[in-house]
Amino acid sequence: MNFPLLTVTAAVPAVGAILTAAVPAARRTAAKWLALFFSLATLALAVLVAVRFEPGGDRYQLTESRAWIPDFGVRYELGVDGIGVVLIGLTALLIPFVIAAGWHDADPLETSSKRWRPTQGFFALILMVEAMVIISFEATDVFLFYIFFEAMLIPMYFLIGGFGDRAHLGSDENAAAQRSYAAVKFLLYNLVGGLIMLAAVIGLYVVAGNFSLQEITAARAAGTLDMATNTERLLFLGFFFAFAVKAPLWPLHTWLPNAMGESTAPVAVLITAVVDKVGTFAMLRFCLGLFPDASKWATPVILVLALISIVYGALVAVGQRDIKRLVAYASISHFGFIILGIFAMTSQGQSGATLYMVNHGLSTAALMLVAGFLISRRGSRLIADYGGVQKVAPVLAGTFLIGGLATLSLPGLAPFVSEFLVLVGTFARYPVVGIVATVGIVLAALYTLVLYQRTMTGPVKEEVRTMPDLRLREVLVVAPLIALLIGLGVYPKVLTDIVNPAVEHTMSDVKQTDPKPEVAVEAKNGEEAK
């Protein structure tokens, strides 16, 4: 019972990263298998965390608490609620697929400028990101969370700036400059957000005297924490700004299309399906938990920003010519839905937002990885360079279609359940906002189906006539993701049973209850009453 399961779950990929990086350059295949082994071991531990977690039990479970920097009230405190459990599971599940999909993405590449890429470094960086993301989902000490929230920027910077598509690297002399620009933009945006958050973290310590999330929320509930209204609002804005950059929320989103466009497909999945989820998770755990009154105060503005993200991201996706950038703008739209669900302040909205984090991760991973396989065959990210692919590579086209249909939230696939809950929860409290948000659904159908039509149907272009279909390794990467999208679309209860109790606690933090529906009923005297 005293086994530090949460620490070990985060430590295993970190150890794997160190060992993978230490593999000699001549043994790059061994480095790949070693990284895959540690990612599967982490997945096994994440499953154990889910098994040990009791949805009806204490709010934070499997807790660990040790003194770290006692002079400043900093402790090494870990604990998971239902939201953290499912996001740890998502992270641990996706990393093996990311590694397998990128099996050859970091092989040595010699071009006219003699560029080369260290294979073991690529996979070591992926494992290090996994370790930092997992411990971010576990941390209940605000300062501990902040450290890893910022530290994950370092390996991500090198993954974006140091590695790109093989065809793009070999043919475009400007590719290195474009990747460098994308990496620096990613780093600067997130560093600015992090520095503002650091000021808010220090301010929180001045007010509360410690960094413990559990102690601060307990003191707020008991009325023993004296936090002035203006102070709470300023601290909330400091935290929210950093999380909105990471999420990303309009207008702080502009780094994402560059980062995803210049990364390999597996790294693009790592960005939007894993790393960005830390931002929306933190809104639920820290913004609503630490600053409930300020969260309600800021809700109208945040709902407007979320609506802009939904509509703007979808509209720009419709006009994209680059496959990766289209998926990036679609993700901005989807993150708008997630934030909308969080700040609708209803149990359906927040449950839907949490499920949306998981389901968006699965659907985006499926679509982006298949798109990466497509791009690696043709050597181009431009939609116009494809046509008639389904006639020469039907399995690739079929999996691409399923990933696209999941992205537009087709009923029967997992994202539909989460999007439906978000809209129902939003409409219950803010009906006009809910109606406007449905525009995003229509636009999602447009950009997804147009993308499929232009790339997969029509006459076969000469450049794709010899395109091979998905190979066994690629099928093994995509098939489980598609199976999960179908399975969770048919039976989402396996996740909602874990998530709902945590959402109830969050609703309690902000002292909100679900609006009661007004239904006309017939009074006993025959007159209509409500």
Write out pLDDT tens, residues 84-102. Answer: 999 999 999 999 999 999 8
Q: What is the pTM of this model?
A: 0.89
pLDDT of residue 457: 87
154-207 pLDDT, tens digit per residue, is: 999 989 888 876 545 444 567 677 888 888 999 999 999 999 999 999 999 888
pLDDT of residue 85: 94
304-336 pLDDT, tens digit per residue, is: 999 999 999 999 999 888 899 999 999 999 999
Instruction: Assign 115 a pLDDT band (cuts: 50, 70, 90).
Output: very low
Least confident window among 198-207, 276-285, 419-428, 501-510: 501-510
CA distances from 104 to 123, 161, 470, 507 (A): 11, 17, 15, 46
- Per-position DSSP letters for 136-204, written without gaps between them: HHHB-BHHHHHHHHHHTHHHHHHHHHH---HHHHHH-TTHHHHHHHHHHHHHHHHHHHHHHHHHHHHHH
pLDDT of residue 190: 92
% of residues, the chain, pLDDT over 70:
93
288-298 pLDDT, tens digit per residue, is: 988 988 999 99
* Arithmetic mean of pLDDT, 337-345: 93
Residue 246 CB partners (closer than 8 Å, separation 6+): 149, 190, 193, 275, 276, 278, 279, 282
Question: Has residue 109 got a pLDDT over 70?
Answer: no
Q: Please name which of 140, 136, 86, 90 lies closest in space to residue 498, comparing C-alpha atoms.
A: 86
Q: Which is higher by pLDDT, 517 or 283?
A: 283
How does DSSP classify residue 272?
Answer: I
Least confident window among 142-146, 179-183, 233-237: 179-183
**Mean pLDDT taken over the chain:** 87
Question: Has residue 29 got a pLDDT over 60?
Answer: yes
Interatomic CA distance for residues 213 and 444, integer angstroms: 38
Interatomic CA distance for residues 171 and 375, integer angstroms: 14
pLDDT of residue 304: 94
pLDDT of residue 112: 42
pLDDT of residue 521: 52
Residue 462 CB partners (closer than 8 Å, separation 6+): none
